[in-house]
Structure 1
Amino acid sequence: MLLVEDDDRMAQALATALARRGHTVRRVIRAAEALRHAREAEFVLLDLGLPDLDGLDLLRKLRTVCALPLIVVTARSEERDVLQALRAGADDYVVKPFRMAELIARIDTVRRRTGSAPEPGGGERQVRTGDVAIDPAARTVTVDGSPVRLTRREFDVLALLAEQPGDVRSREEILDRIWGDAFLASSRSLDVHVAGIRAKTGRPALVRTIRGYGYQLGALDGP
C-alpha cells in the first residue's frame, strides 16, 4: 500500500489501521517519491495537499504510468475537486475527517472490484456497436480501429452495459456492481463517468440514458 500523505498524524493513524488489516504500508510525502515507488505498490491512498505538486496533477501523472487502484483521501470537499479527481482516474474519493471503518470498507470494495476484473485472454467475447469495439477480456475499447483510453471505472461501467447489450441497467445495479454500494452518495460519480465515456469515445449515443431508471449500451449505426 502506497500512502501519499504529508500530515504526520494522519499518516500514522492510517498506517496503524492499515497494518492491523494486514497491509504493508510505504508512506511518502512528496509527489516525486510517489512516482518513484508507484510501480512497486498494489494500492494508492493519495492526499491532494502535497508540498511539491498539487495532488490532482500527481494523480494525472500516475495514471500515465500505471493503473493501480487509487483512492483520494483529502480535506478538499468542493465538488469541482471531486469531479476532477474522478475524471483523472481516481477509483473513489474520501473527504477528511472520515471514519476509519468507512475508509477500510471503501478500500476493500475497490480491491474486490479491481481484483475480480478479467485478465487478458480470459475468453470473454468482444462486443461491437457501430464502429466501437469493447473487449472485456483485454479491457480495451477502440473507435473506428483507434484505441480509446478510459479510466478503470469508466471501463467497468461500459463493460457492465456490454455484458447484455440489449438490457437496461438501473442506477442502483450499476452502483452496486461497480461501486459496491447501491445507495452510495457516488450516484453523481456515475454520471461523471458516463459523461467521460461519451466524451472520450466521441460517441455520445454509446451510453443511452433511460430517464428515471438507468443506462443502456447504445445501438450505433454500422461503420
Structure 2
Amino acid sequence: MSQDQVLIVDDEWNMRNLLRIYLMQAGFGVREAASGREALDLLRANAFDAVILDIMMPDMDGWQVCGELRAFSAAPVLMLSARSDTKDIVKGLKIGADDYLPKPFQPEELTERIRALIRRSRQSRIQAGHVRKLELPGMTIYPEGREVLVHDTPVDLTQKEFDILLLLAENEHRVYSRDMLIESLWGNDYAGDYRVVDTHVKNIREKVQRAGLSYTPIQTVWGIGYRWQRE
C-alpha cells in the first residue's frame, strides 16, 4: 500500500519545512504549497489523504481556500494557526474544516490528529458507500486509498508512479507530454531531468505486468508523450 499523502499549505517556508520533517518522520508522503492558489491547483490535479492549511496567507486566507476546495474535494482539512479564538475555530469548522490545531503544537499531536482524520474519513466513505474506484480491464484503482490491484493482487507503486498512473487513467483520451506530466505532478519549479518520467513509466509497466496484467496500460505516443491504453 502506498503512503498516505498530505498537502501542507503555508506561505512561510520555515513552517512548511518543519511540518514536512514531522510528517515524513511519521511515514507520510508530503507535498507543499506556498499559496492558496497553488494549493487549489494541486488539489484539483492530485488525490490527497489530508490537508494541513494555514489561515493567515497573503493571496487567499485559509478560510477562502477551505471554502473553495470543498466544492470539489472531500479531503479532511486540519487548520493550523496562531489564532486560537473560539470564533476563528468555529468559522473554520463551519466552512468545512475537520479539525483545528493552534500554534505552537507538539509534533506527536499533529501527526496523531492527521492519522485520526484520515482514518475517520475512510471509515465514513466506506459506511456511506462512497469509496471511489476506477474499474479497468484487469485493474482496479482506489484514488483516495492510493491502491492499485491487478486481478486482486496489490501493486506496490511509489508516490510518483501512482500519481502518473492515476492521472493518465482518469484522462484516458488525453495525451500528456513529459512537460505536462512534470508540471502537473512535480510543479513549475522542477529543475531535474525530464527523462525521470520515462523511468517512472517503465517501472509502472513492469510492476503491473509482473502482477499479471496482460497488456501495457500506458502507451507511448511517439514524439509527444504518453496516454492511457485500456487493452
Alignment partner, residue 58 of structure 2: 51
Determine which structure has greater relative contact order: mean sequence separation of CA pairs < 8 Å that are 6+ residues apart, divided by chain length. 2
Residue 67 (structure 1) aligns with: 74
**C-alpha distance in 2, partners of 1:54/1:95?**
16
Q: Percent identical across equivalent pairs?
A: 35
Deviation at 1:42, TM superposition (A): 2.1
Residue 15 (structure 1) aligned to one of 3, 20, 28 = 20
SS of 2:70 mapped into structure 1: helix
Matched to 1:21, the amino acid is A
Provide the rounded CA distance (Å) in 1 between the counterparts of 2:112 and 2:27. Answer: 14
Count of paired positions: 124
Provide the rounded CA distance (Å) in 2 between the counterparts of 1:27 and 1:36.
Answer: 12
TM-score (norm 2): 0.51
Deviation at 1:137, TM superposition (A): 3.6
For 1:118 and 1:112, the matched residues in 2 are separated by 10
Q: Is the 8 A contact 2:50 2:76 kept in 1?
A: yes
Selected match of 1:112 from 116, 119, 139: 119
Q: Please list every run of at least 4 consecutive aligned residues from structure 1 whose deviation after the TM superposition is greater than 6 angstroms.
A: none
Q: Would the aligned equivalents of 2:53 and 2:62 in 1 still touch at CA under 8 Å?
A: yes
Q: Which residue pairs with 2:33 in the alignment?
A: 28
1:6 matched residue in structure 2? 11
Question: 1:52-201 residue pairs with structure 2 within 5 A?
Answer: 52-119=59-126, 136-137=128-129
Which residue is 1:161 aligned to? none
Q: 1:116 is paired with a residue of what secondary structure? A: helix
Give a deviation string over 1:47-93, Cα, whole Å, max 9, x none: 01112012111110111111111100111111111001001111100
Query: CA separation in 2, counterparts of 1:118 and 1:55?
Result: 25
Q: Secondary structure at the match of 1:64?
A: coil
- Measure how far apart 1:118 and its partner are: 4.1
- Alpha-carbon distance between aligned partners in 1 of 2:101 and 2:130, rounded to the nearest angstrom: 30
1:159 match: none
Q: What 5-or-longer segments of structure 2 have no aligned partner? A: 1-5, 132-231
* Secondary structure in 2 matching 1:65: coil
Structure 2 distance, partners of 1:137, 1:43, is 20
Per the normalisation by structure 1, the TM-score is 0.53
Q: CA deviation at 1:38?
A: 0.9
SS of equivalent to 2:32: strand
Unaligned runs of 5+ in 1: 123-135, 140-223
> Structure 2 residue aligned with 1:42, among 49, 58, 62?
49
The structural deviation recorded for 1:138 is 5.2
Question: 1:50 is paired with a residue of what secondary structure?
Answer: coil
**How far, CA to CA, are the matches of 2:100 and 2:72 in structure 1?**
20
Alignment RMSD, CA only? 1.7
- For 2:19 and 2:75, the matched residues in 1 are separated by 19
